[in-house]
Each structure stands twice: as structure tokens, then as C-alpha cells.
Structure 1
Amino acid sequence: MASNPYSDLPAEQFWRKAVANVAPFAVDPRPHGAFTIARTDRVATAGSCFAQRVAQALRSAGFNFHVTEAAPGGLSPAEAEARQFGTYTARYGNLYLTRQFTQLFDRAFGRFEPELTVWERPDGRYVDPFRPTIEPGGFDSPAAVSASREAHLAEVRRMFETLDVFVVTLGLTEGFRYRADGAALPLAPGVAGGSFDPDLYEFVNVGAAEVTADLRGLLDRLWSVNPAARVILTVSPVPLIATYLPQHVMISNTYSKAVLRAAAGEVCAAGDPRLVYFPSFDLITSNVNAGRYYAEDQRSVTDAGVRHVMRCFLATFAPDSARPALASPAGASAAEFEGTAGVICDEEQIERSVA
């Protein structure tokens, strides 16, 4: 029989062999030739709320989850969690737009100082517009917001300079920016502070070219201060909670995830050995799973889904490691744990603000 370009390809490159004849829980589209993560490597995380599930799993698997902005002494574990100490490596909260990543770096290294400095809440308290939910009780003055931000950005700078592995989870293409200087915001003004003024703020829904440029900009910035840093790009499988566009949220979600996935693939296709795409999104959203990795709200990723992702993650980056033990918290029902228990999702403030 005459050969063709597909004749000698491995089984994983054929749907029938790698997917159709494999149990859903055993499908393993891990990347090949990726770098490995040692137990001593400082692993930092940032991104959308799904990144928190990744961070929890990394801790459970025994990785060295890198925290530069630790809780001050005297805080109870519950208070530290509520104030987002240890949620991510530093207390930057959820980073949804790729522009937030590059601007966070530039703010930390003194390259960008946004004109917008503070939002006032209806109760008279103040919040940082770039991380409006990190202090549930707010701040008592703009000066307190500024002091907290200055200390925070110092820890962000230390994070970029000292991390060994950076796990970046991309979440959204929709968001709001401050018109005067393009400062990207995690939430629309008025949701968790401030008020919406269309003369001051603009809605954006970025395309693949801008996301790709932002990702390349982030990598260039990171490697300029930490050349040995390794980066794992993922896309969040958690759908949008709401869309600002006048169309069905499902349409907006498909666009958003397609743009992020395409941009991540394009950036990683350059072949830099310090960079790899990991298929969290692909695993969770695949039709192979028949929706079993989503809870009843069709948005929250179940523990079973996280387990599958982390099995593949460990097989890729720590092949000699044991599987993570992701036991549910004592007393919690399966439904509670499979939802968003312990995960802080700024985007959910949108629903609360219009309820």
C-alpha cells in the first residue's frame, strides 16, 4: 500500500485511537517534551478564578507554591483567606484580561502608573480599582489604599524576579479600561466600587491579535528580569458569568474562549523550551466528557474535572510524582466541593450587583 503523510504517525494523532476507543477519564492529551518541575521549584500562579483550583491542586500534590505576599501574623486562617492572602502568589486578585498581566508587571517595575488610584464604595469605604475585592471591609482612606498598593507591588516585583515556574490561566476577552491611559480593570466600575461613567471608562472585547501581543509582551518582560523562568499557559474552562454585548452569553463565551485558545496556541508554537501550553480547557470542555466535568450550573468545574486535569499535569511536568490527593473538606457535601468552594471569583460580583 502506498504511504502518505499520515502513514507513520503515532496513535495519539488519530481521534479513533486516542479518543474514541479510550475511556473519557483516561484521555490524556498532555504535551510532549515539556520541562519538568522539581519539588523545590517556586511555582507561581495568576489569572482567572480557575487558576485558584490549579493552585489548590499544586499544594495538594506537594509542589512548592510560591507566595511572596504572605498573611501578617495574628490573622486567623479564615480571615487570611477572606483577604486573599495565599490565593495567588501575591494579592493581585483575579487577572482576567491579558492586558492586566503586562500592566501589573509595568506597575511593579515603575514603568506605568495609572491615573486611576481609588474607588469609593457606597458605604464610604475605599478600594483599589485594580484589586477591588482583596479587602472585604475596604480601606478607610485613599492614603491607606495607596500604602497597601505600594507594599503589594513590591511583592509582585519580587515574585517576577524569583519564581521558577509561572502558571498563567487566561480567562476573558471582555472587560473595561480607563479611557485616559488604557488601564485594564478586573471588574466594571460600579460592581465592587466606583461608579460607571462612559466618559471615563470604555468596554472592550479584545481580539486574538491583541491577546497574542499581550502574551508576548508578558513573556518578554518576565524574561528580561528572570531569563530562566518557565511558563505554563492555560485557558480557563469556566464560562463567562455575563456578557456586556447585546447577544446570548453562550455566543460571547465561545468567542472569548476561541480567541484565548488561539492566541495561546500561536504564542506557544514559537517553540521556546521555556514555554508550554497545557490543555486544561481542552480536557474539561471536550464533548468526550459529555458535560460530566461541569456542575449543575454548567459553569463550575467539578472536582472530578480538576482531578483529571491534575493527573495529566503531573504526568507532564512531574512524571515521578504521586497523584494529588484532592479529598473533599470535612463535612462538605460532594455538591459543595464540586462547585466553587474556596474559590474567589471576582466576576461573580457582576451577578450579585444586579440581583
Structure 2
Amino acid sequence: MNPYRSLPARSFWRSAVAGADLSTLGDLWTPAFPLDPDASVLTAGSCFARHLGPALLDHGWNWHEVELPPPGLTGAERAARHYGTFSFRTGNIYTAAGLRQWLTWALDGVDAPDEVWHTDGRWFDPYRPAVEPDGHDSVEATMAARAVTLAAIRDGIAGAGCLIFTLGLTEAWWDRATGTVFPVCPGTVRGTFDPDRHVFRNATVAEVHADLSAAVALLRAVNPGLTVLLTVSPVPLTATATGEHALAATTYSKSVLRAAAGQLAQEHAHVDYFPSYELITGVPSRGVFFAPNLRTVTPEGVAYVMRHFFAALDGRPAGLPASAAAGAPTDRSAAGSATAPAGTRDGGDLLCDDAVLDYYRAG
């Protein structure tokens, strides 16, 4: 007799993975705590996280979009200004350091730097340079818009039941002068790169864990009943500043994020990890949920992730019924022929700030 004799089938590679296909793969996630569909659920994080809010709404959940668009905007204008993307108009938050920074400004009484970027007579917020694509007409308007978002974060956190945060990157550019982190490298989406001021850092597991721990502590200080569900984006790096091959750099980044998120979930009963990364990039999917650019996750992939999410929360048995897996492509050509997700052009994702880095590729 040994401990392995009593383990369930999900614990063994042959039965849980090699012997499964997309229609039977299941039981990947056992929720650490219940989620109330009627309670306010907040979403933030990398560009992959923008899929979560609409999916929650479609399933009848109370996804809370705290910052609502002003009347009169078209659908395209709302999307361009990041309304309906996340619960707050922070733009994409790719790193744990970025999440900690926004929460420190909103919840801990720390003032954000008053620096703005000026381009062609318009002013932009360095910490969300793509949220207002046409910029603001004054420094004061830029600061006022940021103040609205910080107030929305405070109000949203205070009344929320759960925050779902999707980690995207370990690589980031920092400001030596202010000690702050940018969502993208200055001089790409907006701003001007200063090699004496802007420094590149690639976070370690310990650093990501420390930032996540601090972020969760800030959240729970404001709302002791709040739970946090972490995920890791399956979207690869568009480009790496490490000097390594993009594939190796992506593996490092995702491995670090996965390890830090898993460690935090083991340490706290109010923190959990959902395996969206594994569902899309794992061996059983054979890459079918990526568009031809091998980066953008197809609508079928998003739907597949959300079906696993809701099945686990609803307490359904392991594995998906055939009807639930009917939309999953079975080969790469099927995935490549899928309709491109909203916000994409020529295989590139326009709602991912770092997608602009592809413009600088060689060749």
C-alpha cells in the first residue's frame, strides 16, 4: 500500500490527460471558495481578462463595471476608450507590480505622480496611455480623469464579493525618478523613451509573490470579505527586452506568474487560482485555440475556458458533455479559420497595448 493507490484518475497523466480529449478533459479546478453570482464580481488584468466581464454577464453573473460610459458614445467609441473592458478604466494591468501600484494609489492614501505626457497638443496619462486614444485637452483634465478611476476602484472594492485578476507579464519598464512602473515601454504607445530614466526589469517569483501579497492585503484591509481569484493569461509575449528568444522569454514569464499565483493560493484561504493558462496552452489543446499568429486566443478558446469555469462552480462532474465541446476546433486549420475576435486586425490584438511592439520587429 502506498499513497498513490488511493489517488483519483485526475492525478495521473495517462488517465487525466493522455486518455482525454477536449470533450472529456475536465476536473482541472476545484474552487477554494464559493462564488455568489449575485455578488459584485470585479475583473482587471492583462488583455485576455477583457473577455471575462462579458462572459460573466452572459452567464447571468453580476459583473460590476464601475466606470460607466457617458451617454452618446457609439459602441466603437466606448471600446476605444476602454469602457466595458474591465471593471475600472485602468487599461491593461499586465504585472503584479502594476496592480499593487493602482491599489496603493486608490486605497492606501499614496499620491500618484502628477506627470503627464504631451503629444501634438494633447495630454496623456503615462500609466494608462491607451485608455483615451485622443488624449485630454489639459493637464487638469488628465488628472481629473485619473481621480475618477481611483475613486471607482475604492468604491468598487468596498462593495465587491470577488476580484478576478489575470496576470500577463513579468517584464516591465520602471521610472527611476518616481519609482513607478509603466504598463508599456515609454516611446511605444505614447511618451518618449529616456535611457537614463527608464529602466527594464524582469520580475522574479519572489518579487511577483511580494507584489501580489501586498495587493491582496490592501484589498482585504478595505473589504475583509473579499476573495481574490488569480489567473494567468495564455497570450504569449509580443516581444521581449531580455535578449532571449521570445519563446524562452514567454516560458519564463508565464512560469514565474503561475508559480507565484499558486504559492499565494496555497497560503491564503481567500485566494484561489483558476487554470485558464493550462486550458489554452496545455498539451491536450494542441494549440487549436490560437489564431494563426499563435498569440491571439480565438473565441472558441475563450468559450472553452469559461465553460470549465462555470462547470466547476456549478458542481458538475469532471469532463464536459459533448454538446459543450461542440464548438471546440479539432485541428489547426479549424482554429485558423475562426472569426477573429473583436478588436483584432491582421492577426494582431489591438486591445493589447504590448501588441504595438510587433511594429518594431526585424524583417
- Alpha carbons 1:37, 1:318 under 8 Å: kept: no
- Alpha carbons 1:175, 1:203 under 8 Å: kept: yes
- Alpha carbons 1:103, 1:112 under 8 Å: kept: no
Task: Identify the residue that residue 188 of structure 1 maps to in structure 2.
Answer: 185
Deviation of the 1:47 alpha carbon: 0.5
Cα distance in 2 for residues equivalent to 1:175 and 1:290: 30
Q: Decide whether aligned partners of structure 1 residues 32 and 204 sit closer, same or farther in structure 2, where only a CA change above 3 A counts.
A: same
CA deviation profile, 1:256-309 (whole Å, cap 9, x unmatched): 001001111111111x33221100001111112111111111111122221221
Deviates more, 1:18-27 or 1:106-115: 106-115
Query: Secondary structure, in 3 states, of the residue corresponding to 1:64?
Result: coil
Task: Identify the residue that residue 332 of structure 2 maps to in structure 1.
Answer: none
CA deviation profile, 1:84-127 (whole Å, cap 9, x unmatched): 11211010000011111111011113532243521122x23211
Cα distance in 1 for residues equivalent to 2:243 and 2:277: 26
- Alpha carbons 2:291, 2:297 under 8 Å: kept: yes
CA deviation profile, 1:291-333 (whole Å, cap 9, x unmatched): 111111111112222122111100122448x999999xxxxx8
Task: Identify the residue that residue 71 of structure 1 maps to in structure 2.
Answer: 69
Cα distance in 1 for residues equivalent to 2:325 and 2:159: 28
Cα distance in 1 for residues equivalent to 2:292 and 2:68: 35
Task: Identify the residue that residue 345 of structure 1 maps to in structure 2.
Answer: 352
Task: Identify the residue that residue 53 of structure 1 maps to in structure 2.
Answer: 51
Given the alignment, which residue of 285, 289, 301 partners 2:285? 289
Cα distance in 1 for residues equivalent to 2:300 and 2:175: 39
Unaligned runs of 5+ in 1: 328-332
Please tell me the residue identity of whatever aligns with 2:148. A
Deviation of the 1:17 alpha carbon: 1.3
Moved over 4 A (4+): 322-327, 338-343
Q: Percent identity, please.
A: 41
Query: Secondary structure, in 3 states, of the residue corresponding to 1:167?
Result: strand
Question: Does structure 1 residue 275 correspond to structure 2 residue 275?
Answer: no
Unaligned runs of 5+ in 2: 328-336
Deviation of the 1:179 alpha carbon: 0.7
> TM-score of the superposition, structure 2-length normalised?
0.89
- Alpha carbons 2:96, 2:208 under 8 Å: kept: yes
Query: Secondary structure, in 3 states, of the residue corresponding to 1:126?
Result: strand
- Alpha carbons 2:81, 2:133 under 8 Å: kept: yes
Count the aligned residue pairs.
345
- Alpha carbons 2:27, 2:312 under 8 Å: kept: no
Q: Decide whether aligned partners of structure 1 residues 209 and 116 sit closer, same or farther in structure 2, where only a CA change above 3 A counts.
A: farther
Please tell me the residue identity of whatever aligns with 2:100. T
Q: Decide whether aligned partners of structure 1 residues 325 and 288 sit closer, same or farther in structure 2, where only a CA change above 3 A counts.
A: closer
Superposed counterparts of 1:198-209, under 5 Å: 198-209=195-206
- Alpha carbons 2:228, 2:272 under 8 Å: kept: yes
Deviation of the 1:353 alpha carbon: 6.1
Deviation of the 1:203 alpha carbon: 0.7
Please tell me the residue identity of whatever aligns with 1:180. A
Cα distance in 2 for residues equivalent to 1:11 and 1:127: 53
Deviation of the 1:40 alpha carbon: 1.1
- Alpha carbons 1:173, 1:206 under 8 Å: kept: yes
Question: Does structure 1 residue 309 correspond to structure 2 residue 313?
Answer: no
Deviation of the 1:44 alpha carbon: 0.6
Cα distance in 1 for residues equivalent to 2:324 and 2:73: 28
Deviation of the 1:338 alpha carbon: 8.6
Cα distance in 2 for residues equivalent to 1:30 and 1:339: 30
Superposed counterparts of 1:63-142, under 5 Å: 63-115=61-113, 117-121=115-119, 123-142=120-139
Task: Identify the residue that residue 330 of structure 1 maps to in structure 2.
Answer: none
Cα distance in 1 for residues equivalent to 2:129 and 2:324: 32
- Alpha carbons 2:22, 2:325 under 8 Å: kept: no
Cα distance in 2 for residues equivalent to 1:30 and 1:334: 26
Deviates more, 1:243-252 or 1:167-176: 243-252
Q: Decide whether aligned partners of structure 1 residues 354 and 120 sit closer, same or farther in structure 2, where only a CA change above 3 A counts.
A: farther
Query: Secondary structure, in 3 states, of the residue corresponding to 1:214?
Result: helix
